[in-house]
Structure 1
Amino acid sequence: MTYYDGKKPKVEVIKELLKLDYVIGEDKKQFSVVRDFNLPRRVKRFLTPEVTIPADQIKTTVIEDKVIVEGVIVKQVYYVGEDDIVYSETLPPEKFTQFVHINGAYPGNHAQVKVRVEDVRFEIIPSKKYREEEEVVLQSGHHPGYKTKVKQTAILEIFVKVTETVQLEVVTDIIGAHITPYKELVKVQNVIGEGTVQTSVISDVEFPDPVKKIATVDSTFKDVTARVIEDKVIIEGILHKQIYYVEERKGIVKEKSIDEKFTQFIDIPGARPGMNVQIYPRVEFIDHIIDSNDRSIARQTAVIELFVKVTETVQIEVVVGATGVDVYKELFKVENVVGEGTEQLNITAEVKFPKPAKKIANIVASVNITEVKPIDNKVIIKGELDKQVFYVDEETNVLKELTLPSEPFTHFIHIEGVRPGMNVDVTPRVEYTKIDLYDNGLSGRQTAVLELFVKVTETGQIEVVTDVNIPDHDLCPPDASYIIYVVQPGDTLFKIAKRFGISLNDLINANKDTILDPNLIFPGQKIIIPCVPKPKG
């Protein structure tokens, strides 16, 4: 309620302070990346490539009216050679830089970015046969020889949303004679707090061969989870790295994959168990120093940045208009939460091994969401389950790796109120994987349990009442020349003058010794309200 000098006004205004993500704007942009590369043998035809945009390597910079997006494209090319054998080549990461125009964006705003691969095509460029002259060849280990020149065209789509966290005091009720408030129920994310923290992952990496140099490192985050305790968020996850290194003796590029766990916490005052957490991880820096005494060992340092936002879904009835009293309105564009849901999905398949397996040592699984489509009251999710199986060869007792074909899946989750065109966020997680070997060891039955968490939102504009004009001359005691008023959040001199039924100039003149800038007043500040003589009746 609003009170003046301890006196209760004739009109009661009930307010609530919300901290919301105000949507500055959003837009999509398509662009193409065209590159030429070489393959170490003749190509008969191309198969479907594996193309990813590591989310943790997407860097955004907000400038005036624009968002600059930087990232990398990682490609695994599969093709059939003239010998009818299927080959795989991992191409060096390709960097890209694009900008998306967002009117009203300003440095300091937060940008949410999603980059999606729409299409990738390969075209063989006719050329004469020639000898490979590069010292470093592709990771396949193919010896220098004839190569095929290929033109790649990748079409990507960038979606950018720019938001600003604002504190907004909204009116939830107006009580008074002959006053009728009009209310609307909104479901919004109340921002509890946000912050950024850095952490370092330092370890020694052992390579199977002496290393001449590290060529490139691809990094992604897996299984990033957050746990909210009182005033803190604990983040756990895995930093997955694919290190491409040049082997010292032959100069061949080889690959080594490493998973490293990390744990970090960040203070978020007001956070409590059960609240929503958004985590935006990013790799800032990775470096490897090769041991001069043993070149098969390198000291790795990875610097990770974690941006964390804690929100609470609140359902609140706000005043959007009223009769019988003057109100002040502000137009806000907010993300209304339509609904959310979690479901589990079982995926079973038959797995075949090239040689009898003695036992399964480990299974590394990940989920790639390929399409999300909201329809009436449902969200359809399409994706792929990717797995690498590490097994012990029964004959040699050696640990071997088997990369299985991607397993596509389609699932839907019922969420009441969903309509086409709404925003959908899907967070997949592999909860459980297992392979039961059959007696011959050449095949087995795979069971995987996935968890799909879906949140559906709708960007909407709502005009809410943020203040009420309450002209009340009775607040002045008889024969008083002025009263003292305590400035409230959201007040301006114009609003105060209108509320007390005096002119703005009279208010400014009454406070000219204490208010140097009429456009700058602060909550808690005491100002003089000159009393207007009541008309004699």
Structure 2
Amino acid sequence: MTHKGGFLPKVEVLKDLLKIDFVVGEDTKQFKVIREFTLPRPVRRFLTPDVTIPQDKIKTQVIEDKVIIEGEIVKQVYYVGEDGVVYEETLPPEKFTEFVHIHGASPGDHAQVKIRPEDVRFEVIEQGKKFRSEEEEKDDVEGTHHHKPKPPKPPVRTVVKQTAILEIFVKVTETVQVEVVTDIIGPKIHVFKELVKVQNVIGEGTVQTSVISDIEFEDPVKKIATVDSAFTNINPRVIDDKVVIEGVLHKQIYYVEEGTGIVKEQSVDDSFTQFIDIPGARPGMNVQVYPRVEFIDHVIDNNNRRMAKQTAVIELFVKVTESVQIEVVVGAKGIDVFTELFKVENVVGEDSDQLSVTADIHFPSPARKIANIVSNVNITEAKAIEDKVIIKGELDKQVFYVDENTNVLKELLVEGEAFTHFIHIPGARPGMNVDVTPRVEYVNIDLAEDGFTGRQTAVLELFAKVTQTEQVELVTDVNVPDDDFCPPEATFVIYVVQPGDSLFKIAKKYGVSLNDLIAANPQIKDPNLIFPGQKIIVPCLPKPKG
């Protein structure tokens, strides 16, 4: 590769620095969750249950070569009783813990988890007596005045075994900073390029904040039994070099009433606003927020057992990315290049759309006015088909209204309103990865004159991104031999080994043969093992005379 006079061609190498999410590994696993529960009456047969796995209840922990996943299964069981009536029973959430092997995973990596219920079956394993025994019938015939009154019999109960088969998909990524070659300019050099769309990671960080509030209970409280918490209405906003996060921490507090010992429930919503510095963040960039409750405590006021001070410590992990389309060099002729294999999420396409969700709301008592509506969107399924994304989800609401008769503020929980929507994403194909970010833009309820019903209108925004995991071999460096590294009349120079160096790379860099480099450094016992900071001899080659 020398020209006349022994001079090497001048080569210009253009590079760009990217921070990308490198895919460490991904896998799918099936597992079973087996539980027993009791229903308050005999069962003739079961209908299709309503099974959900709340995304905000999924917790992950990445350890060496594994991901630990914790979550909850929420079920509404529908069954036909012996009387032919269809009954519904909402079961307490069932917690589960599972792990998935991901080779190469390590603490600090990020895990994305999607869990889907594949099948849920119920089996009656014990059912109480429906009819009384002959002895009981005989007692009734002889007359109850000859016997002591008997206490009422407990209701018939049915013990059921549930087997749920769940599919869990786990992807582990690591944010890496890599300098890629975007062009090589020089005589007789032909480069091969490829257009890639990647998420350039602008920055990420974690911030903690405390949510402190005074809570007034309906009854005097002996103690707090347990607290279930979830995040709703998480709304991140990017400004210059910062991300502002607004959201609601929803809590279901189970407390023991003083005097009776009865366990009761009270729902509380606390709004919070927090910001985090992300240098380089700009409006319009993509934001992902992963909230987590670290600690919740309640201190009951001894002078007024209906009051308690709540302190919740929450952690917010924030990542800001920018979708970039960049042409990179994947190979070249006429010059030596160094390549690295990356597993990246290639962005196929992204778009957003709006839809309206309308429904009739029924109040148990006449409502004078609507005080507040807390809403949340739960995406139950998102899949890619030809050039489209199909999105299924539910809109959950808590409606706070003023009772017409008592002027008391009351709460109405509205069951999830299902919706199905699609968004055009050219290039989308079945099997590709789909990520959906929902947002409630507007929600309102128009009350009827009698106050017992209302017409709800909600406007949702759905942002969908389709990606495909690809292995891409990118050129990260170019061997441009340097013929001017040796001073005049010098026979060798001393070179200090840098991180990532090898004798092969050094030989290529300075245009000497690997054998000559090894021969000049007899102190190196293993040519495959050199260390940063180590000094080696690079022989100088005589230049041809012009």
Name the TM-score, length of structure 1 as normaliser: 0.85
Residues 277 and 310 of structure 1 are in contact (CA less than 8 Å); yes or no, is this contact kept in structure 2? Answer: yes
For 1:7-60, what per-residue CA distance to the aligned partner results, in whole angstroms no more than 9, with x for missing partners? 996122111121111101111112121111234555676666554434344332
Whether contact under 8 Å (1:511, 1:527) holds in the other structure is: no
In structure 1, C-alpha distance between the alignment counterparts of 2:86 and 2:114, rounded to whole Å: 32
Is 1:531 matched up with 2:540?
Answer: yes
Farther off after superposition, 371-380 or 348-357? 348-357
CA contact (8 A) 2:499 2:531 kept: no
Kept after mapping to 2: 8 A contact 1:122/1:152: yes
CA distance in 2, matches of 1:35, 1:42: 19
Question: After superposition, where does 1:45-444 map in structure 2 within 5 Å?
Answer: 51-75=51-75, 91-128=91-128, 145-146=154-155, 147-444=157-454
Letter in structure 1 aligned against 2:436: V
The separation in 2 between residues aligned to 1:501 and 1:466, in whole angstroms, is: 19
Provide the C-alpha distance between the structure 2 equivalents of 1:290 and 1:226, rounded to a whole number of angstroms: 33
SS at match of 1:62: strand
Check 1:123–1:386 CA distance in 2 against 1; reply closer, same or farther (3 A cut).
farther
Q: Conserved in 1, the CA contact under 8 Å of 2:8 and 2:483?
A: no
Cα–Cα, structure 1 residues 210 and 238, in superposed 2: closer, same or farther, change >3 Å?
same
The structure-2 alpha-carbon separation of the partners of 1:59 and 1:446, relative to structure 1 and needing over 3 Å to count, comes to closer
Question: Alpha carbons of 1:359 and 1:87: their partners in 2 closer, same or farther (altered >3 Å)?
Answer: farther
- Residue 126 of structure 2 aligns to a residue whose secondary structure is coil
Distance 1:372 1:392 in 2: 37
Summarize the Cα distance change of 1:284–1:193 in structure 2 as closer, same or farther, 3 Å threshold: same
Shift of 1:448: 1.0
> Gaps (5+ residues) in structure 2?
1-6, 131-151
- SS of the residue corresponding to residue 506 of structure 2 reads helix
Aligned length: 515
- Assess if the C-alpha contact under 8 Å between 1:57 and 1:282 holds in 2: no
Change (3 A) 1:20 1:405: closer
Cα displacement (A) at 1:450: 0.8
CA distance in structure 1 between the aligned counterparts of 2:63 and 2:455, rounded to whole angstroms: 53
- C-alpha distance in 2, partners of 1:507/1:448? 72
Q: Structure 2 vs 1, CA of residues 387 and 124 (structure 1 numbering), >3 Å: closer, same or farther? A: farther
Q: Could you tell me how far apart the structure 1 residues matched to 2:258 and 2:81 are?
A: 28
Segment of structure 1 superposing worse, 486-495 or 114-123: 486-495
The residue identity in structure 2 corresponding to 1:232 is K
C-alpha separation between the residues in 1 aligned to 2:108 and 2:466? 26
- Could you tell me which amino acid in structure 1 is paired with residue 314 of structure 2? I
Q: In the aligned structure 2, how far is the partner of 1:289 from the partner of 1:41?
A: 40
Instruction: Please state how far the C-alpha of 1:160 moved relative to its aligned partner.
Output: 0.8
Q: Deviations over 1:241-291 (max 9, x none)?
A: 111223233333321111111122222232233222111111122222333
Do 1:29 and 1:158's aligned partners in 2 also have CA atoms closer than 8 Å?
yes
Residues 1:107 and 1:407: Cα distance change in structure 2 (over 3 Å): closer
- What residue is the counterpart of 1:15 in the other structure? 15
Q: Secondary structure at the match of 1:125?
A: strand
CA gap of 1:82–1:254, structure 2 versus 1, over 3 A, is farther
The Cα shift of 1:176 comes to: 1.1
* Alpha carbons of structure 1 residues 402 and 41: separation in structure 2 relative to 1, 3 Å: farther
- Offset from partner CA, 1:333-378 (integer Å, 9 cap, x none): 1011111111110122233334433222222322222221211111
Alignment partners' CA distance in 2, 1:152 and 1:469: 63
1:456-535 correspondence to structure 2 within 5 Å = 456-473=466-483, 476=486, 478-482=488-492, 491-504=501-514, 519-521=530-532, 529-535=538-544
Identity between Structure 1 and Structure 2 (%): 74
Q: Which residue of 1 aligns with 2:138?
A: none
TM-score normalised according to structure 2 size: 0.84
| Offset of residue 96 of structure 1 | 1.4
RMSD: 3.3
Q: Which amino acid aligns with 1:339?
A: G
Over 3 Å counting, the alpha-carbon distance change for 1:529 and 1:275 in structure 2 is farther
CA distance in 2 between partners of 1:252 and 1:20 (Å) = 54
Q: Distance in 2 between matches of 1:285 and 1:452?
A: 31
| 5+ residue gaps, structure 1 | 1-6, 131-142
Equivalents in 2 of 1:265, 1:453: separation in Å? 23
Please report how far the alpha carbon of residue 415 of structure 1 lies from its aligned counterpart in structure 2 after TM superposition: 1.3
> CA shift at 1:318, angstroms?
0.6
Indicate conservation of the 8 Å contact 1:492/1:521, yes or no: no
Name the amino acid aligned to 1:202: I
Q: Which deviations, in whole Å up to 9, do the C-alpha atoms of 1:104-160 show, x marking residues without a partner?
A: 222332212223333444444324469xxxxxxxxxxxx994344332333322211
- Matched letter for residue 20 of structure 2: L
Moved more, 293-302 or 172-181: 293-302
The reply on whether 1:452 has 2:462 as its aligned counterpart is yes
- CA deviation vs aligned residue, 1:435-484 (integer Å, no higher than 9, x gap): 21223333332211111111111111111111222234355465344568
After superposition, residues 5-44 of structure 1 pair within 5 angstroms as 10-40=10-40
Cα shift at 1:189: 0.9
**Quick check: 1:345–1:449 contact (8 Å CA) kept in 2?**
yes
TM-superposed deviation, 1:161: 0.6
TM-superposed CA distance for 1:329, in Å, is 1.3
8 A Cα contact 1:357 1:393, kept in partner: yes
Letter in 2 for 1:519: I
Is the radius of gyration larger for structure 1 or structure 2? 2
Query: Distance between the aligned counterparts of 1:84 and 1:466, measured in 2?
Result: 70
- Deviation string 1:361-404 (CA, Å, 9 cap, x unpaired) is 22232222222121111111112222333333333333343333
Q: What's the counterpart of residue 136 of structure 2?
A: none
Q: Give the 3 Å change call, closer, same or farther, for CA 435–314 of structure 1 in structure 2.
A: same
What displacement does 1:101 show?
A: 1.2
Contact conserved, 1:423 with 1:456, CA < 8 A, in 2? yes
Residues 408-417 or 391-400, more deviating:
391-400
Q: Which residue of 2 is the match for residue 3 of structure 1?
A: none
Rounded to whole Å, the distance in 2 between the matches of 1:78 and 1:249 is 36
- Cα distance change, pair 488–317 in 1 and its aligned pair in 2 (3 A): farther
Opposite residue 113 of structure 1, the aligned amino acid is V
Q: Distance in 2 between matches of 1:45 and 1:203?
A: 47
1:86 and 1:263 mapped to 2: Cα distance?
A: 45
Deviation at 1:535, TM superposition (A): 5.0
